[in-house]
Amino acid sequence: MEEKLKLLVVDDEPDNLDLLYRTFRRDFRVFKAKSGAEALQILDAQGEMAIIISDQRMPKMNGTEFLSKTVERFPDTIRMVLTGYTDVEDLVSAINSGKVFKYITKPWNPKKLKEVVAQAAETYGVIKKRTFALSRALSQESVSNNIMAAVRGSLDYDNTLQTVVNALGQSFETDFAILYPAENSPDISSDQPFPTYCPISDKPSDEPNQTTDGLESSVEDSLETFLSCPLSFLNEKLPPIPTNLNITSEFVEIGGASVIRIVVPFLDQDMTIATVCLYKRTTDERWASSTIDLLENVSDQVALAILHAKLYQQLQRQSTKMRAELEVARQIQSNLLHQSWPETPGLKIQARCQPAREVGGDFFEVFMHPQGDIWLAVGDVSGKGVPAALFMASAISVLRRELAQEKSPDPEKVMSNLNHSLSDDLMSNNCFITMALIRYSESTGQLVYANAGHVYPVVWSHKEIVAQQQSGQRSSLKDNSLVQPTYLDVRGVPLGILPKWRAASGELQLADGDVVLLTSDGITEATVPSSQNSDGCAMLNQEGLWDFLQRQPAELNLDNLLSYIHLPEGEQEDDQTILSLEVTSC
């Protein structure tokens, strides 16, 4: 049966009060007041009225004054004025300050008065529906904004789940809420605690010093006692979750108390990714109805936030795994390049290789042939990262096989054989390798070299540069008297470009104090401070490299060069490899 609307009649004449009461008592819950002050007391006790009918001419507080006091507290109430006067000033005052719906003169026609009141009741119903719809929309927007603002504030998966259950629990004023991720549902045994929200007491926990001894009797005492139990015990006692893809509500009993439970599945393409249960100790089913309406508006957005956090977690795990794998690869590559060679009297060999990423495509090789020849090589696989590193490992393996022949081969023959072994794989992957290869015979001082599209190696007499520095002559000498570099400028195409590789080799005789320097393009293309612009930077180039080498002390150290090209604020853009052989006096 539909509940009757409440109607308040206010008149200082008892006969009028009785007449109004008898007129409307069948259709309304009628309240009577003899004065404005008494009417305000009734409103304090009974709350909002659907309709208020007030006499205008009353002692101490007239009808207009009384009605104006109800406007702010009860804006939806329909107000009507009864008076035996037709004073225009009273009429305007009543309408403006009292928000009066109708102005009725005495004596009234009972039939017409009933029609006016019925119209007022209908208007009140429309206003309440609109107010409820607006309030519901605003509430939905507010709850949705609060929930989504909280949920979107976290990318971490576990934090997102806890934020979801906290936001839902707080927004809907629940006594307890718990969230079950799909990978950790209550049907799956797991030591992982479920995210919970519990404002009644401190958040349940699984601390080892808490026990469940005696809880079987105590949990019946109150919901508060039950919710203070350890999570592992609490989860066992909660009613099972229905397997339903829709939001549902039901009365359940936990801790000796009857509560409403709302079960909210969060879905992704009809697959449950998480389920949250909201518990509230109330018998008002309207709470469940309004909560479900709101949840239906935000559940998809919450599910999307959970999916994003889950994806972020998966990406983080994959990234961590990839970093671990790359670290292993970096260590393998480092071990591959971390060569040791016997100290040779009269020679000093240095080598450095710094990949731009965990692994790279640059490589170097120092090979001591049993016949006494010393082989030097610096190579650069196109690209960076893991693919380049794989070709780099393959190139070193083939190179070592070629250099380990019983008779020391010619450099151009080694290049040709390398191209033959690697070209198919390089071409199919749109890659190539540049490399400079040198064979030095210590007994004769002869240098034989070949180049497959690589940066030209440079040779100079470091001994003469140091002598000129020490004598102070370099600043006064003409350019043609200064030590000049010799570039080993024979070059063929990179490996992997053509099926067959052909190019001539070059020869050079080294003397005491000469240095041979091989670099990758990561050195010559590095960005360094510009000598012409103190605020700018420029590419090092081979000319800049030569300027730097001329300023080095007698003890040539490759680490000084690497420090020079590594700007503190810059990021290394390419793999950097450098290898030197210095002929020294014994």
Q: Domain containing 438 — which CATH number?
A: 3.60.40.10
Do residue 86 and residue 171 come from a single domain?
no
Three-state SS at 492: strand
Q: Per-residue confidence at 211, pLDDT binned at 50, 70, 90?
A: very low
- What's the structural domain count of the chain? 3
Is residue 413 scored above 90 in pLDDT? Answer: yes
Do residue 22 and residue 108 come from a single domain?
yes
Is residue 307 assigned to a domain? Answer: yes
159-168, 497-506, 562-571: least confidently modelled range: 562-571
Q: Per-residue confidence at 386, pLDDT binned at 50, 70, 90?
A: confident
Query: What is the domain extent for residue 472?
Result: 339-583
451-491 pLDDT, tens digit per residue, is 999 999 999 999 988 888 877 765 555 555 688 999 999 99
Do residue 74 and residue 214 come from a single domain?
no
Q: Quote the pLDDT of residue 136.
A: 74
219-274 pLDDT, tens digit per residue, is 334 455 555 555 555 656 677 888 888 999 998 887 677 889 999 999 988 899 99
Beta strands in 382-521 (DSSP E): 433-441, 446-452, 458-461, 486-487, 506-509, 514-519
Do residue 172 and residue 114 come from a single domain?
no
Alpha-carbon span 350 to 499, nearest angstrom: 34
Alpha-carbon span 443 to 345, nearest angstrom: 12
Q: Quote the pLDDT of residue 414.
A: 95
Alpha-carbon span 261 to 279, nearest angstrom: 5
Pair 227, 200: CB distance under 8 Å: yes
339, with CB counted inside 10 A (0-12, 13-18, 19+), is middle
Give the full edge-to-edge strand order of the sheet including 506-509.
362-368, 373-381, 433-441, 446-452, 506-509
Alpha-carbon span 389 to 51, nearest angstrom: 85
Q: Quote the pLDDT of residue 444.
A: 92
Do residue 468 and residue 574 come from a single domain?
yes
Q: Per-residue confidence at 538, pLDDT binned at 50, 70, 90?
A: confident
Mean pLDDT of 422-427: 92
Q: Quote the pLDDT of residue 439.
A: 97
Is residue 228 assigned to a domain? Answer: yes
Q: Quote the pLDDT of residue 236.
A: 61
Q: Per-residue confidence at 1, pLDDT binned at 50, 70, 90?
A: low
Q: Per-residue confidence at 50, pLDDT binned at 50, 70, 90?
A: very high
Amino acid identity of residue 208, one-letter, is P
Do residue 301 and residue 379 come from a single domain?
no
Q: Quote the pLDDT of residue 314.
A: 87
Is residue 421 assigned to a domain? Answer: yes
54-76 pLDDT, tens digit per residue, is 988 888 888 888 888 998 899 88
Is residue 434 assigned to a domain? Answer: yes
Is residue 506 assigned to a domain? Answer: yes
Is residue 544 scored above 50 in pLDDT? Answer: yes
Do residue 362 and residue 300 come from a single domain?
no
Do residue 172 and residue 231 come from a single domain?
yes
Mean pLDDT of 533-547: 81
Do residue 14 and residue 52 come from a single domain?
yes
Among 281, 314, 347, where does a domain finish? 314
Distant-in-sequence, close-in-space partners of 182: CB < 8 Å, separation ≥ 6: 271, 272, 273, 274, 275
Is residue 140 assigned to a domain? Answer: no
Mean pLDDT of 14-25: 90
Q: Quote the pLDDT of residue 215.
A: 34
Q: Quote the pLDDT of residue 221.
A: 45
- The overall average pLDDT reported for the chain is 83
313-323 pLDDT, tens digit per residue, is 888 888 888 88
